[in-house]
Amino acid sequence: MNKFWIILGHTYTTRIKSKTFIITTLITLILIFALTNIKTIIDVFSDGEADQIAVIDETNELYKPLTENMKQTSEEIELTLYDGTEEEAKQAVEEEDYTALIVLTMNENKLPKATYYANSISQSSLQTTLEQQLQQLKAMYATEQAGVDPVALAMINEPVTFDTVALDKSAKTEEELNQARGIVYIMLFLLYITVIMYGNMIATDVATEKSSRVMEILISSAPPVTHMFAKIFGVALVGLTQIALFLGSGYALISAKDEATQELFAQFGIGSASMSIYIYAIVFFILGYLLYATLAAMLGSLVSRIEDAQQLTMPMIFLIMIAFIIAMSGLATPEAGFIKVTSFIPFFTPMIMFLRVGMLDVPIWEVALSIGLLIGTIIILALLGAKVYRGGVLMYGRSSSLKDFKKALALSKKEK
């Protein structure tokens, strides 16, 4: 057991002190800071002034209601009635005295019509806002021409009352589903990124040690299972260190903005969801990591070059990608048949069964069965991986085929 902790500690400290870990951690922390202060950053690079729009109203009646509507909608757009010719207004736009020019007219049906002039039409949000306000004016004029009572029209356009009531008393409410959906969404992304990043880290770590020709000494001094799981848990601690840094800094930065914190936590359901969801998240996250990390260590032991490790781990990456895609589609249809079936496939279980328990009221026997199959698969991979690992770490030269399993198993038997 002492050898396990020595290898684990060596793996952890080596990775923590590496330039790759320090650089990626710093870059990610900078990105987190930027995202949590995106509005402030945008304000710094913007002039802080509203877009000045010159308006030529050939109807002499559209400018006033359009201006009133715009004041209620956006403070970043300011309309100014231009006292001059259209050509002079275009020249003013070209000289950047105004952001744009809009000419208001009536079409053959006596309904509002507009022409928009600007040096560049890339400001789609500005154009969309103006178009929406003119659409409201058009609807108002069309209603008056048709003699329709505005009150009656408002009642017609009012959204229908559509209440949802689950007859099953154990079924989640709409609010609970929204809360669960947010947590499931976070968990899926976290597991997906963790497996890809740290699974590759384990495989490349083993390949790197083999390239330094010190693996024979390590294997002779410690059993393969001890060495393999020390690597897995060592890298897991590296991952947990990074995740703790990211979550801690993000929470600290967001907490400084009270309104943003409440809005973000309410959107993802954090703090208001049931405790069982958090427990399932931890269980499936740990089991999912162990499953793919064991597979990554086994695959990494078959190669002695980082390039070959990345190629050989591609099937593992494809598995987690497929699970992620299925889980993402299942957020909208968690009761679909293919979601239920794939939730029992061990390589998909961590994501898809967690999706189901988060969104639905899943019978406990189904959850227990899926966890049992998942643990069983991890044990099988661990036993098989220990044999492959013992022989694989002694294999050198170019190796990028899964056929090398047989060769690794043969070397493992000779070592006994």
Determine the Cα–Cα distance for residues 239 and 194; give it in Å rounded to an integer.
Answer: 7
C-alpha torsion sign, points 225, 228, 229, 230: positive
3-state class (DSSP) for residue 169: coil
When pLDDT is averaged across residues 211-239 and rounded to a whole number, the result is 69
Task: Output the pLDDT for position 254.
Answer: 67
Choose which CATH entry (3.40.190.10, 1.10.390.10, 3.30.390.50, 3.40.220.10) describes domain 49-157.
3.40.190.10
How confident is the model at residue 221, as a pLDDT? 62
- Run of H or E including 77: strand 77-81
Which residue has better confidence, 406 or 68?
68
Mean pLDDT of 136-164: 76
Q: d(Cα 313, Cα 287) in Å, to the nearest integer?
A: 19
Residue with the bigger pLDDT between 217 and 301: it is 301
* Rounded Cα–Cα distance for residues 232 and 111 (Å): 70
The confidence score (pLDDT) of residue 365 equals 92
Provide the mean pLDDT of the chain: 77
The number of CA neighbours under 13 Å toward the Cβ of 383 is 5
Residue 55: closest CA among 110, 139, 114: 114
What are the contacts of 44-51 at 24+ separation with CB within 8 A?
50/75, 50/76, 50/77, 50/78, 51/76, 51/77, 51/78, 51/99, 51/100, 51/123, 51/126
Average pLDDT over residues 314-332: 86
- What pTM was computed for the model? 0.66
Give 305's DSSP letter: S
Q: Which amino acid belongs to residue 202? A: I
Residue 182 pLDDT exceeds 70: yes
What would the pLDDT profile of 10-29 be if each residue is shown by its tens digit?
Answer: 778 888 888 888 888 898 88
Domain with CATH 3.40.190.10 in the chain: 49-157
d(CA 261, CA 153): 39
Local structure of 140: helix, strand or coil? helix
Query: Taking 90 as the threshold, does the pLDDT of residue 373 lie above it?
Result: yes
pLDDT-derived band at 372 (thresholds 50, 70, 90) equals very high
CB 298 within 8 A of CB 225: no
Q: What is the pLDDT of residue 369?
A: 93
In terms of residues, how long is the chain? Answer: 416
Confidence band (pLDDT; 50, 70, 90) for 258? low
Listed range (34-48, 225-239, 264-278) with the worst mean pLDDT: 264-278
Per-residue pLDDT reduced to its tens digit, 380-391: 888 777 777 665
* Residue 288 parent element (H or E): helix 275-300
Mean pLDDT of 195-205: 79
Q: Is the pLDDT of residue 215 over 70?
A: no
- C-alpha atoms less than 13 angstroms from C-alpha of 79 in its C-beta half-sphere: 25
| Contacts for 204 with CB less than 8 Å, ≥ 6 apart | 300, 306, 309, 310
Could you tell me what percent of the chain has a pLDDT over 70? Answer: 73
Amino acid at 2: N
User: What type of residue is 178?
Assistant: N
Give the pLDDT mean for 245-252: 78
Is 60 exceeded by the pLDDT of residue 48? no
